[in-house]
Structure 1
């Protein structure tokens, strides 16, 4: 009886050790200064759910350039499609999501800035966007922000994009705000506004939707630089280097170019060739 009891205790101890070892490698549980680089059963990736062509959730499907870049990177890190847990990360909550361990990384038109780098880490950039204008496909009057004098310009409520144009390029522009960019595109289609402004690839994604294809065009005269990076928790140097390696491979094997074309088809859009494809920054 004693031998039997001792055997059961030994088996229980071995099981506890085995479970502990398995659990320590899962993404999201700290393993030193890094998490996602350690691998695990799943990886939690934050994306936008409401940006056609970039990050969009339709039913159970997740589509867009950002989303496909995330899939490519996850695959290079050793995660299959069914090991990805998608999470919505709106612009205002991206740093919080990383700091609170709600996601392991973020691909969500996340511009790299010095202020944000003080709170989180970044890999990339994987794309360099620029503020631009969306106009009707047959519009030949608006070639840049200076041509907006006296015209109606739509942007999303709370955005600084339109204010930047008014302050720096066309003082007489009439600003129109809408709750979302889809609402701005509707206003453009009806003639209520003459142009819509935000980052060029966001505009291209809107123009490339099935209902909008062929109706609009991106002017193609960007007047800012927005370097989209992969948001990571602070202290993710190893993961940053792995993600940068994946981004470089994506560019070199032609996948990056294919994904840009796929998600902007019908928008009459090409990314700024002087800035794209980008070379990832050194990890800090």
Structure 2
């Protein structure tokens, strides 16, 4: 029989061991999320923010061997959280990066694993059912990546329609869109973009299709090896879902946004303000935000929202967004920026690049539109107010 004197130490040792086990376990649990969406603004104010992005997209978001992150989406995220801190008089927060694969993005926001996500994250009705989006901050389109070394080069979309091998990632709608319009294309679906790129490099595949920005990142990674071919419908086409496309329409229009938890209107407002500051600069962003302030009639210019916003962005050719694109997407960034400029003859860009943050009216339409919204806006330049 065990005496009471011997029992007590054993009980204490058991309690201490249990407490130690809990102490070890708790950080592991919190590191994986809280099952409750996080508050971006609270995290920035506290000095520690968790940002989601991709780890495998050159030029956009990639993890380096030293565990640091680089790319345009990475720099957009950094600008946004640091600008929000600056706007509120808070210190710049410490940033922890977390990989957010496409199928898991909404779940990781819901589970509180990240404060926000910028990861070539196209805004869509389906995604907005589970997450809210600030932005968009960039518009891109579906395109083709082809080898410059090919003896039978692809220069137009219809060149694919002769039994060429087209690659895209499994489950992607990009390749399916092409197959609907060009039934003779041989569709090859791989697990990742890197595999498709290697196939095109070795001549096993003829082309890769996805967002032009993603293709630009790979083109910059392999200088002199690839061309990017734009994709528009060669003829009027009805897709399998009933969507009608006219000859010359883009295959897809992707508007990149920043995903946050549902219902966080305060964070959305502050992210959109930071995005305006990124694209327009502090002064022009303040003027754009102050369009409701009465000003003298001679100081008002009434324009379409996107046209006014785009012209304000191009007024500073070295705005921070353009710098980020040039730093990360190589030569094609210049092409994108040039095509996004308003053409004085038509009043429209060759292909829109600059969206107005917070304007998501295009989601109200059933088809994916290419034209810009037409909500009137008064962009007030610096001038005196009434009575001054």
Fold shared per TM-score above 0.5: yes
Whether 1:111 and 2:122 are equivalent positions in the alignment is yes
Output the CA distance in 1 between the equivalents of 2:51 and 2:91. Answer: 13
Matched, 1:91 2:156: no
The 1-side partners of 2:356 and 2:333 are apart by 25
1:130 positional shift: 1.0
Aligned pairs (5 A) from 1:20-169: 35-38=39-42, 39-59=45-65, 60-78=67-85, 83-137=94-148, 141-150=153-162, 151-167=164-180, 169=181
Match of 1:8 in 2: none
The answer to whether the 8 A contact 2:53-2:100 is kept is yes
Return 178-187 or 226-235, whichever deviates more: 178-187
Q: Deviations over 1:101-122 (max 9, x none)?
A: 1111000111111121121110
Residue of 322, 339, 360 corresponding to 1:257: 322
CA-atom RMSD in angstroms: 2.6
In 1, distance between residues paired with 2:113 and 2:195? 30
Report the TM-score, using the length of structure 2 for normalisation: 0.61
Q: Which of 248, 251, 256 is the matching residue for 1:223?
A: 251
Pick from 196, 206, 218: which aligns with 1:184? 196
**Which deviates the most, 219-228 or 181-190?**
219-228
Q: 1-side partners of 2:272 and 2:93: how far apart?
A: 23
Q: How many residues align?
A: 253
Shift of 1:218: 1.1
Larger RCO (alpha carbons 8 Å, 6+ apart): 1
What's the offset of the Cα at 1:224? Answer: 1.0
**Which structure 1 segments of 5+ residues have no match?**
1-27
Indicate if the aligned counterparts of 2:217 and 2:329 stay in contact, CA closer than 8 A: yes
Structure 1 residue 170 and structure 2 residue 182: aligned?
yes
Q: Distance in 2 between matches of 1:203 and 1:145?
A: 16
For the structure 1 residues 215 and 236, does the alpha-carbon distance in structure 2 shift closer, same or farther, using more than 3 Å as the test? same
Q: 1:158 to 1:241 in 2, by over 3 A?
A: same
Considering only CA atoms, is the larger Rg found in Structure 1 or Structure 2? 2
Report the counterpart of residue 214 of structure 1 in structure 2: 224
1:283 is displaced (CA, Å) by: 8.4
Alignment check: 8 A CA contact 1:129 1:201 kept: yes
Q: Is the CA contact 2:38–2:112 (under 8 Å) kept in the aligned structure 1?
A: no
Q: Secondary structure at the match of 1:234?
A: coil
Partner-residue secondary structure (3-state), 2:353: coil
TM-aligned CA distance change 1:246 to 1:82, over 3 Å? closer
TM-score (norm 1): 0.82
- Where does residue 196 of structure 1 map in the other structure? 208
For structure 2, which runs of at least 5 residues remain unmatched after alignment? 1-32, 232-249, 282-318, 341-350, 362-388
- Is 1:74–1:80's contact at 8 Å kept on the other side of the alignment? no
Number of the residue aligned with 1:5: none
The corresponding residue for 2:23 is none
